[in-house]
Amino acid sequence: MTTENNTNSNSELQGPFSQMGQPSALDVLRHDHHDVVLKKARQSLEKIPTGRTLLTILDKYKFPINILKGKEITYLSPDEKSLTLFAPPEYKGLESILAMALGLGIRELEQGLMGITRPSQDMDDITYCQRILTKSVDITKYMCIIASEFHDTHDDKKPLDKVIELGHGDVYKAYINKVSYEEFVDIFVEKDIETYENNTGNSE
């Protein structure tokens, strides 16, 4: 699967990175331990119930995955059909964070399968904002689910620490307290606005 994935992603990503000559920009950016990082991420994700469900989706639809060099562990889906994970050169001991990034990336791809695609410019403003909110709330909820399962079943607090570091501590508490979806969204929006104001200095 890895060989096929690399081939597909190379053709998809080479456009933005295209340069004359060899090696390609994608080859330069590719993580030195691409296969090992992906294997570690999968193995760690398989340890939790939600992770196993997400991997079933990944295996069913065979989404291409690339592992690129990065300062931090994160992910993106460049086209809603493939997944790119970023990992630092030293990733040992961070397998559960890799797993969370992989899981959230798969969930974002699953959103597309469910019809929850990225907002487009032809949407009216209200629909556009609603789509962004729906996708963001869903990903954040899955972040909480994954962090909770690692903490509860394996006493691994690293994903939870990452959730808190990203400013979602109150949202995580809301998830643990099993608040209604409406209340969960309200807390998410409130904290999102608070974070924006803190980062920009724009507050009333």
Pairwise CA distance, residues 59 & 124, whole Å:
35
In the prediction, which pLDDT does 38 show? 98
Q: Is residue 127 very low, low, confident or very high in pLDDT (cuts 50, 70, 90)?
A: very high
- Percent of the chain whose pLDDT exceeds 90: 81
In the prediction, which pLDDT does 24 show? 66
In the prediction, which pLDDT does 7 show? 39
In the prediction, which pLDDT does 201 show? 75
Domain boundaries, given as residue ranges, for the chain = 2-166
Pairwise CA distance, residues 134 & 108, whole Å:
11
Q: Is residue 196 very low, low, confident or very high in pLDDT (cuts 50, 70, 90)?
A: confident
* H or E segment and range at residue 189: helix 181-200
Q: What is the mean pLDDT of the chain?
A: 89
- Percent of the chain whose pLDDT exceeds 70: 86
Number of Cβ within a 10 Å radius of residue 117: 12
What average pLDDT does this structure show over 109-133? 96
- pLDDT exceeds cutoff 90 at 153: yes
In the prediction, which pLDDT does 197 show? 87
Q: What is the pLDDT of residues 88-110, one digit of tens each?
A: 999 999 999 999 999 999 999 99
| pTM for the whole structure | 0.85
Q: What is the pLDDT of residues 40-80, one digit of tens each?
A: 999 999 999 999 999 999 999 999 999 999 999 999 999 99
Q: Is residue 200 very low, low, confident or very high in pLDDT (cuts 50, 70, 90)?
A: confident
In the prediction, which pLDDT does 89 show? 94
Structure-model confidence comparison of residues 10 and 152, the more confident one: 152
Pairwise CA distance, residues 157 & 146, whole Å:
11
Question: Are 103 and 54 a contacting pair, CB within 8 Å?
Answer: yes
Report the side by side order of strands in the sheet with 74-76.
Answer: 65-69, 83-87, 74-76
- pLDDT exceeds cutoff 80 at 165: yes
